[in-house]
Structure 1
Amino acid sequence: MQIVLNLFYDHTHDMDMIRKFLQLFAIITLYIPTYAQKRSTWNEAYNRYKNGNMVSKITSRYSVIVRGGLTQFYGELQKQDMRGMLGLGVNRKFNNPLSLSLEYTTGKLGGEEISFFNSYFINEYNSVELLAMWDLTGQFIPSYDGELNVNIYGGLGLMMFSANAYDITSNTLLRFTNSPSSARNPLFLRWGNPHGSPGIKKTNERIIPVGLCVDYKLFEKLIFGFDYRFYFVRTDKVDATSGMRLINPEEADSYSKTPNDKFSFLSLSATYKFSRYPKRGKR
């Protein structure tokens, strides 16, 4: 009898072990697909992150531009003495070919003429310009998505400058645009009864900039450019010289029968496009 009881006990114990094993097997069997699914989800999420397919930023219409280059002057003292310039701007794209830029530029102009004037000049200037830019590549090749783009642009601006002309032999100051008695001309007039306090340090003149820019897209948000810009200035004294005369360019003598002065710059630029997350729809 005892043997039978022992056999029954052993059988019951074995059944309990088998039942527990089956339960453990069932748990593992159910857990593995769940774990595998979670792992697959994690891997997919990681791969989306790695491949940039997660909820990604979109390129903004706004960008910032920095530039640096060399200037060139066209006027009475136009034998070249190329000087440097720096610029900073903000651009807003409206559609594929059209964008607007607001730019600030600071730099120097220089030049000389020995045969008649025996003098050279240095002009320190700042300018603020509003430019409309037309992307020729985007206009005429709508499906183009390459690295190179050609742009033309034009606009209006204000140039604030101070120029001095010196004798080449002795470096003596000969002519200048600003002095303790300098004052502002009436608005939109070349000369007339001055207004405001005398002693202004900068002459203000309107400018018309036009230019050509070739851009190269290094990355989606970083673009390098090669820019040539030409300026028409509404004055003849950017070089502290007005016409073929040796007088100081002040008041009515600031202008002559010769064409107004012009200048240009050749620059390298870097444009950074801002980005943002897309707006979420309302729930």
Structure 2
Amino acid sequence: MKKVSLFVKAAGLALLASAGAFAQYNPKASYEGPAKLNTWSVSIHGGPTQFFGDLREYDFYPVGQTNIDSYNERRSAFVGVAVGKQLSHLFGLQLGGSFGNLVGMKRRIYNSYFRSNFIQGDLTASVNLKSLLFGVNKMKRWKMDAYGGVGVLGFKSTAYELGTGRVRRFTKNNLGDGVLREAGYEADWVIPVGFAVHYELSPRFDLGLDFRVNHVNTERLDATIGGQENNTSVFDLSGARGAFDNQLTRRGNSALDKYGYGAFMLTYKLGKRAIRVQKVNGKYEYDTTQGVYHLRWTDPRSLIKPPVILTLEQIDSVAKANRPKDIDPRLLTDTDNDGVSDYFDRQPNTPAGSIVSGAGEAIDFDKYVSAALPGVACAEIFANVQFDTDKNIIKPQYHEMLNRVVELMNKTQCRLQLSGHADRRASDRYNVALSRRRVEAVRNYLVQAGLNDANRIVIDYFGSFKPVGDNSRPGLQKNRRVELRLVP
């Protein structure tokens, strides 16, 4: 009984473990994770811009007024939109586009200001610093991203003289009709880097602040190539002002231009049945049955339920709850060893070696075979062939019975199931092989006796795993057997 109890407990634990494994794995997930998560989002953002280059009065603080020797550097802004794809909880991609304007001035050396309109498209990759540095379980409603990427900037810029507003330079010209004028946008590479902070307002919307610096691969963003030796914004009294000569270098003695911005960002998280993690009794808990979380805010590992370590009392309780009902012992008892359980056996004490019907009643097999009509199905019939110790030789006393089995099968549509068995006096491996040799011996005898269709024979062999007798001499003799079961 102890062995049975341990087996039931082990089976109960295996069922619990397998159920938990299937609950945690979703083969249709779009990433490596235990449950489906939403991964796409759309953002709109906008705010003031700030230029950094030659026509810039101060390093950071912009001039805020326009007069005879100043120009307001705060009259610049942009708007943009971006589509985001979260590749994992820590990493994502954003494809963005924006347009706006830039303004800057400088009194010393240049005595000029400029205005520029720009259009930019870029692809950036972001890393979730909040989860990376502080962990996924802290600051659940906050997200901090550092990002960088590459893009293309199209710009059209014009530099003017402070005070008079006369044009000094612009980025492109058109002399096709003999008139000097601005002709369109100039394009160059740009490398954006930045930092963004987001707060999760609801399952659909996030609000954020975005701070970015765009490093442009040109010094002409302010229509000026800086430096003492090549000061291209100086007003030329002879009228040679206008667009850059194509022969001029792309840069002078100063650094490449760049511009930055600070922006408000509103993000809409795409996907079906959007939800966010809720706080229950002071602790954040995930429930994937309520909807779909977003990968921006949810680490897939958080959705894996920790394993439950059961106590021995709990294991025993689970085993008892899942234990099948006891089998009626009458179904396991076959007193006369005729192949029919005592529960169904109408004649439970048939003599040894009897051939019985499906009801356990002894029949005159010879008369049954003689009376059988050709081509019809037969009734269910049971018989046994017993063997000597460690032998698979069929005793002569069974030859006549087996010959009649062949006659019945050739006359009717009967099928035959053969099951080989052995007693317990050897290893399991040996007994299985021995029971196989015995069942094959019976099958070969039937074929050699003239069986027309051997495909109607089904064989099984069980070694000593299905005994019908004990370890006494008569019991061991009962166990050394091949069971024959004729079925329709």
- Any conservation in 2 of the 1:210–1:231 contact (CA below 8 Å)? yes
Partner of 2:251: 255
Write the distance in 1 (CA, Å) between the matches of 2:151 and 2:267.
21
| Deviation string, structure 1 residues 179-223 (Cα, Å, up to 9, x no partner) | 1159xxxxxxxxxxxxxxxx8511001000000001011112200
Write the distance in 2 (CA, Å) between the matches of 1:254 and 1:275.
46
**How far did 1:110 drift?**
0.5
Partner of 2:187: 204
Write the distance in 2 (CA, Å) between the matches of 1:249 and 1:210.
29
- Residues 90-169 of structure 1: matches in 2 within 5 Å? 90-140=83-133, 141-144=135-138, 146-169=140-163
Q: Which amino acid aligns with 1:94?
A: L
Question: What are structure 1's unaligned runs of at least 5 residues?
Answer: 1-57, 183-198
Match status 1:77 vs 2:55: yes
Give the secondary-structure state (helix, strand or coil) at the position aligned to 2:271. strand
Give the secondary-structure state (helix, strand or coil) at the position aligned to 2:270. strand
Aligned residue among 203, 206, 209 for 1:226: 209
Write the distance in 1 (CA, Å) between the matches of 2:105 and 2:217.
21
Aligned residue among 227, 232, 252 for 1:246: 232
- Residues 260-275 of structure 1: matches in 2 within 5 Å? 260-275=256-271
Q: Which runs of 4+ in 1 moved over 3 A?
A: 247-250
**How far did 1:107 drift?**
0.6
Partner of 1:21: none
User: How many residue pairs align between the two structures?
Assistant: 206
Q: Which amino acid aligns with 2:217?
A: R
- Any conservation in 2 of the 1:129–1:157 contact (CA below 8 Å)? yes
Give the secondary-structure state (helix, strand or coil) at the position aligned to 2:223. coil
Write the distance in 1 (CA, Å) between the matches of 2:93 and 2:145.
12
| Deviation string, structure 1 residues 34-89 (Cα, Å, up to 9, x no partner) | xxxxxxxxxxxxxxxxxxxxxxxx76211000001011111111133131100101
* Greater displacement, 199-208 / 88-97: 199-208
TM-score normalised by structure 1 residue count: 0.69
TM-score normalised by structure 2 residue count: 0.40
Match status 1:67 vs 2:63: no
Write the distance in 2 (CA, Å) between the matches of 1:250 and 1:236.
14
Give the secondary-structure state (helix, strand or coil) at the position aligned to 1:138. helix
Which is richer in strand? 1
Q: Which amino acid aligns with 2:126?
A: M
Write the distance in 1 (CA, Å) between the matches of 2:139 and 2:40.
19
Select the structure of larger CA radius of gyration: 2
- Any conservation in 1 of the 2:172–2:244 contact (CA below 8 Å)? no
Partner of 2:81: 88
Q: Which amino acid aligns with 1:259?
A: A
- Any conservation in 1 of the 2:54–2:254 contact (CA below 8 Å)? no
Aligned alpha-carbon RMSD (Å): 2.0
- Residues 34-49 of structure 1: matches in 2 within 5 Å? none
| Deviation string, structure 1 residues 17-44 (Cα, Å, up to 9, x no partner) | xxxxxxxxxxxxxxxxxxxxxxxxxxxx
Q: Which has the higher contact order (CA 8 A, sep 6+)?
A: 1
| Deviation string, structure 1 residues 231-252 (Cα, Å, up to 9, x no partner) | 1110001000001303553423
Give the secondary-structure state (helix, strand or coil) at the position aligned to 1:91. strand
Write the distance in 1 (CA, Å) between the matches of 2:175 and 2:51.
27
**How far did 1:175 drift?**
0.4
Question: What are structure 2's unaligned runs of at least 5 residues?
Answer: 1-35, 63-72, 177-181, 234-242, 274-290, 293-488
Give the secondary-structure state (helix, strand or coil) at the position aligned to 1:254. coil
**How far did 1:114 drift?**
1.1
